[in-house]
Structure 1
């Protein structure tokens, strides 16, 4: 009976996320916070930005059911609790606006608390790197939440890959929690795919990024996968956000300010549009996820080949987008 309840977790996560997100789309809802377009936005009409509330409600409901089924453990509970705390901070930021310093402090405290509860072993430098990685994952997911259907679809694909890999490793609790996150993202995506009726907002994007890192570490600690696995699964987001940040820093730009220079933003601006950009990203993410899962079942040499091929594909795609973008800008400047 308990296992049956736990198996229903993804279904409950989808249903709750769908229902809450639908409520957030209604103008009369107290969760109807509008995102006003600006010079850095890709949308042109005011759109509610509280879809993350639906995502978080769904995944937390599914997580509770996993715990009731007796398949949860401390790392999984801590990951969901940390995501819940970040969601509250994000909701407050979406509503009234919080300083970047306060948001960063909350993220550092959640990341540090999670690593302490996880009992991560290793030198202090490694633990520090993991903490920085968790904070960066939350922020990069937020940076990548800027086009219809992108962040929600990538969560659906990425956490589904986590669920498959965890199930193959016999980590049932981790598999069900990951499946619950994917299902909650799917419930939100119904309203977010182009043309989006609602955006995810900080209440969803930062917690999802944190969960990508937190569940990735939980899987490493349990022996379900090595550290490269979650990095490869979420490589499309990690590489886009990280390369963009580094290039902006090298140009002396204020990296904390909003901009439209991510690769996915360039694709939309060059005419590919929200829908086709999302579908291209889905294909790239699915390829990374499938490659990562397959790599877990082969020897070291083949793992290196798969990882190298995935990274090479991302580099080639990035180069081609850069080349097309330069031509686009030259064409736009030509009278």
Structure 2
């Protein structure tokens, strides 16, 4: 499995890099993101790199499934097929939205349909809720959570390398968990493939970015990551599934509540996220992304520790420690960098 995961990751990285080189002239022409008052970039930059990330991940994953994995059960195969179909649907939705913004309701309707397909397929294999909770109620709650997760990944993709800094550690951790038998091998392959796609994209997105991910990438990445976290939770890793994406969850959710409290139209673009406020408070883009990367590595270590702990009280304590780390970073981002205030 180690060789299979490594080959899948490397193959996806190479495919993504090659696809970006081939696609970039077209994206430069048809999918140019022009800066505005809410943007973090200053010059027009092509977007749509997510086409290469998703395409490479799905292609490398399909090859790995075909040649290196034992046959999947009917439920497991249906769940992975549902993820692939839903990811492609969201990618198509995002590609259209990148070029011609869609109204809110059609966009949300497609997201609910895609997430619903994945949730139903996944919960038919394994559930994470208690036995007394009706399956329909669990699925409804998971669909709402999944749609929010897909959107918050999109909201948080507003700074060079931010999505890579968030999801590369998450996917690496999930791949490691699969190697340890804490996650099914098929989901380990999917995590390794997504990791490779992100690594292939990273050189083009490092500050100052020459290419953005776009909605065509952030939406399906959120869907795939959400599915993997759902499977992890269903296999006894609920605390780990909370810890791995905790920075994104906290930044996006707290920002949403703050905007609701101020009576803002939360569906409109803004610059209120903590990572955006950090750049306004004097932090450079590399400094912000570097702190997020270090935080996510810390959260990944805590997630791994939580998987070896059986005591619910200790698991809660580990999650609380992760939340404290996230809170520390958010507090730093919300205040002027040392020396800026005095100046």
Q: Give the Cα separation in 1 of the matches to 2:238 and 2:314.
A: 17
The list of structure 1 runs, each at least 4 consecutive aligned residues, that deviate by more than 4 angstroms after superposition, is 2-7, 28-32
Q: Counterpart of 2:277? A: 266
Unaligned runs of 5+ in 1: none
Counterpart for residue 206 of structure 1: 219
1:295 to 290, 294, 306: 306
Q: Which residue of 2 aligns with 1:50?
A: 48
> Does the CA contact (< 8 Å) of 2:281 and 2:333 recur in 1?
no
Structure-2 separation of matches of 1:277 and 1:125: 39
Q: Determine the structure 2 residue equivalent to 1:62.
A: 60
Query: CA deviation digits over 1:170-196, x for unaligned, max 9?
Result: 522211110111111110111001111
Q: Secondary structure of the residue that 1:281 maps to in structure 2?
A: helix
Correspondence for 1:11: 10
Q: Count residues in correspondence.
A: 326
* 1:94 and 2:98 correspond: yes
Name the counterpart of 2:130.
none
By how many angstroms is 1:264 displaced?
A: 0.5
Partner residue of 2:138 out of 118, 126, 129: 126
Q: Is the 8 A contact 1:52 1:204 kept in 2?
A: yes
Return the TM-score normalized by structure 1: 0.90
Tell me what 1:191 maps to: 204
CA contact (8 A) 1:78 1:117 kept: yes
Separation (CA, whole Å) in 2 of partners of 1:319 and 1:103: 33
Deviates more, 1:173-182 or 1:113-122: 113-122
C-alpha spacing 1:135/1:31, structure 2 compared with 1 (3 Å): farther
Match of 1:314 among 326, 331, 338: 326
Q: Do residues 155 (structure 1) and 153 (structure 2) align?
A: no
Q: Is the 8 A contact 1:13 1:184 kept in 2?
A: yes
In structure 2, the CA distance between the partners of 1:5 and 1:288, relative to structure 1 (3 Å rule), is closer
The residue matched to 2:39 in structure 1 has which SS? coil
Task: Select which of 114, 121, 130 maps to 1:117.
Answer: 121
- Trace 1:162-241 onto structure 2 (pairs within 5 A): 162-169=174-181, 171-221=184-234, 223=235, 225-241=236-252
Structure 2 gap segments, 5+ residues each? 128-132
Change (3 A) 1:127 1:46: same
SS state at 1:115 partner: helix
Provide Cα deviations, 1:43-99, integer angstroms capped at 9, x if missing partner. 110000111111111111122112212455332232222112111111111122222
Aligned mates of 2:181, 2:5 — CA distance in 1: 18
Contact kept in structure 2, 1:6 and 1:68, CA below 8 Å: no
Residue in 1 that maps onto 2:292: 281
Name the counterpart of 1:74: 78
Over aligned residue pairs, what C-alpha RMSD do you find? 2.4
Q: Relative to structure 2, which stretch is displaced further, 114-123 or 52-61?
A: 114-123
Deviates more, 1:233-242 or 1:115-124: 115-124
How many Å separate the matches in 2 of 1:99 and 1:249? 20
Q: 1:3 & 1:243 partners in 2: Cα distance? A: 38
Q: Quick one: structure 1 residues 4 and 277, their matched pair in 2 at CA, closer, same or farther if it must change by over 3 Å? A: closer
- The CA deviation string for residues 230-257 of structure 1, in whole angstroms up to 9 with x for no partner, is 2210111111001101110111001111
Residues 321 and 183 (structure 1), Cα distance of their counterparts in 2 relative to 1, 3 Å cut: same
